[in-house]
Amino acid sequence: MLKRTHKMNEINDSTVEKTVIINGWVDRIRNLGGIMFMWIRDRYGLVQVIFDPNESVYEQSKCISAEYVVAIKGTVRKRPQDARNPKLASGNVEILVKELEVLSEAKTPPIYTNRQEGNEEARLKYRYLDLRHPSLQQNLIFRHELTQQTRKYLSSLDFLEIETPYLTKSTPEGARDFLVPSRLKKGNFYALPQSPQIFKQLLMISGFDRYYQIVRCFRDENLRADRQPEFTQIDLEMSFVEQADVQNVINGLIKELYENLMNLDVGEIQSMSYSEAMERYGSDKPDTRFSMELHDLTQKVSELDMKFLSPSENEALKFVVVPAGNGFSRKTLDSYVESAKLENLRLGWVKMSNGDFSGGVSKIFKNTNMLKLKDGEIALVCAGKSSKVNEFLGKIRTNLSKELDLIPKNSVKILWIVDFPMFEWNDDENRYQAQHHPFTMPYVEDLEKYPNNLDRIRAHAYDLVINGWELGSGSVRIHRKSLQEKVFKLIGLSETEARERFGFFLEAFEYGAPPHAGFAIGIDRLVAIMRGAQSLRDVIAFPKTTSGTDLMANAPSKISEEQLKELGIRLEVDK
């Protein structure tokens, strides 16, 4: 075969006059009757080749069609001045073909391989063809560079890359596990890890004081555009450190990735407490690229004359100002009022147009300047249980930011959300549970101050948020037995139960556990944000659909009776 001497990005002004061989796919053919042009594509780029009727190879060119794999030998030459293509990196030059070898013929592809369109179903079924799109290739190339940089950075800081098992034990609490039946121990199952959490903490106990892994995690939960059943994390854990040390490592990593891969200085990464985030943005992953913050009127209620909106004790009165409210229909506003009702909230709105207030609750605010409305703006005023009010207005804020296009393009806002609550109430099970996980270090001073008010106890747990996406989370871990026991007790877990659930893990802590803390970054999300991808599917080579299927491989699928028998499994569902 004619083996390539150059890749497509190496064909340019500097190769003029040279005889070269290229290998690649036929991207497009332009047959002008006599002279014939083709674009040849590889992962490095596109190059135009030209078949001249005066060359003996010309006749052979006629049997070529799109997506054939070809080897072409020819001489690189400058294009005529008026026939250059500035859109192509190699647009100044072209290859005059002297020899052609068809390495592989191709059927007409069922999807476009050189255009970014097509329905997702067909594109996923023929994923290997869809991956010929340069944009998808660039995403995966970028992802490769990001993982390489990450390895280099962490390795330079003495982090060791250590693998942990995929076939492991089912963990109670948390997401549903993906299960794998055991043949050797019939009736028993492995679980695929939701994260290497337990193993990385055990590595700390073993003395590997800095661990990292770029590792697959599995969660059998319902999917979204930003959620795949298997996803990849940059997972790390450190010993003899405090929260700030972990944050510094992550700050350095994020800074370096943005600098080296995006040529962007992200500046100093700010911190915001969970409670501040909820009060100001109504979200634990606020998008701070635009303001539209929540404003609190609870303290000013006495100055206002109202009934419907008046908050009772332990309730709050807050509002957001919607810019460009003129585009708002009465119907939309009514739908907000309705959905507020479903959350046991009261919502009113005030519109300012041509200097006049209008709207159901405008009377209340007419003679105040509390809302500070500008012309054309609408205030949505919400009363009810404080946390509900925050959440509700926060959701409206997020939704409207997309609808009204409030988010500045190309801006990047990164921040830490810190001091998450340690516990949250679980309505279904009628008990408190750990919000992060039960091995998270609570603020000991909070435990002492509010022994009977678990809602007020903060944890050394921290999330990294970029542009309103939760990119990762971590925590300082409990390393003392007595504190761990106390936390178990607070979430209503007896010692026996704790032993049953986390047995070997708790035992390990009795043999000298160092203080340690860690973090994990969702790499799929990070790449998606950095590449401006709409969906995680665009940064994963072989992704799954929202129902968890792989349309190309046709997985999951039925298995044979024989396989089932070998595993000792009988199916209850229809075969």
Partner RNA sequence: GGGGACGUGGUGCAGUCUGGUUAGCAUGCCGGUCUGUCACACCGGUGGUCGCGAGUUCGAGCCUCGUCGUCCCCGCCA
Binding site for RNA (CB under 7 A): 28-35, 37, 39, 48, 50, 52-54, 65-66, 79-80, 82-85, 87-88, 91, 94, 108, 110-112, 115, 117-122, 124, 173-175, 194-195, 197, 219, 221-227, 424, 433-438, 535, 537, 545-547, 549, 551
- By beta-carbon proximity to RNA, the closer residue of 410 and 547 is 547
Task: Classify the phi-psi angles of 324: left when phi > 0, otherwise alpha if psi is within -120 to 50, otherwise beta.
Answer: left
CB of 120 to RNA, least distance (A): 4
Written as one string, the DSSP assignment of 373-422 is PPTT-EEEEEEEEHHHHHHHHHHHHHHHHHHTT-SPTT---EEEEE--BS
Beta strands in 435-480 (DSSP E): 461-466, 469-476
- By beta-carbon proximity to RNA, the closer residue of 35 and 559 is 35
d(CA 7, CA 47): 9
CB of 44 to RNA, least distance (A): 17
Q: Which of 344, 350, 418 is nearest to 387 (CA)?
A: 344
CB of 83 to RNA, least distance (A): 4
- By beta-carbon proximity to RNA, the closer residue of 219 and 413 is 219
CB of 109 to RNA, least distance (A): 8
d(CA 467, CA 25): 38
Cβ-contact 457, 497 below 8 angstroms: no
CB of 486 to RNA, least distance (A): 17
Q: Which two tokens stand for residue 293?
A: 């913050």
- By beta-carbon proximity to RNA, the closer residue of 247 and 398 is 398
CB of 130 to RNA, least distance (A): 11
317: helix, strand or coil: strand
- By beta-carbon proximity to RNA, the closer residue of 201 and 362 is 201
- By beta-carbon proximity to RNA, the closer residue of 111 and 154 is 111
Cβ-contact 49, 76 below 8 angstroms: no
Omega prior to 451 cis, within 30 of 0: no
- By beta-carbon proximity to RNA, the closer residue of 194 and 213 is 194
CB of 119 to RNA, least distance (A): 3
- By beta-carbon proximity to RNA, the closer residue of 367 and 426 is 426
Do the bridges between strand 210-218 and strand 160-161 make them parallel or antiparallel, or are there none, so unpaired?
parallel
- By beta-carbon proximity to RNA, the closer residue of 35 and 244 is 35
d(CA 186, CA 181): 8
CB of 432 to RNA, least distance (A): 11
CB of 194 to RNA, least distance (A): 6
Do the bridges between strand 230-239 and strand 516-522 make them parallel or antiparallel, or are there none, so unpaired?
antiparallel
Cβ-contact 61, 50 below 8 angstroms: no
Q: Which residues of 60-88 are buried (b: 16+ CB within 10 A; e: fewer)?
A: ebeebebbbbbbbbbebeeeeeeeeeeeb
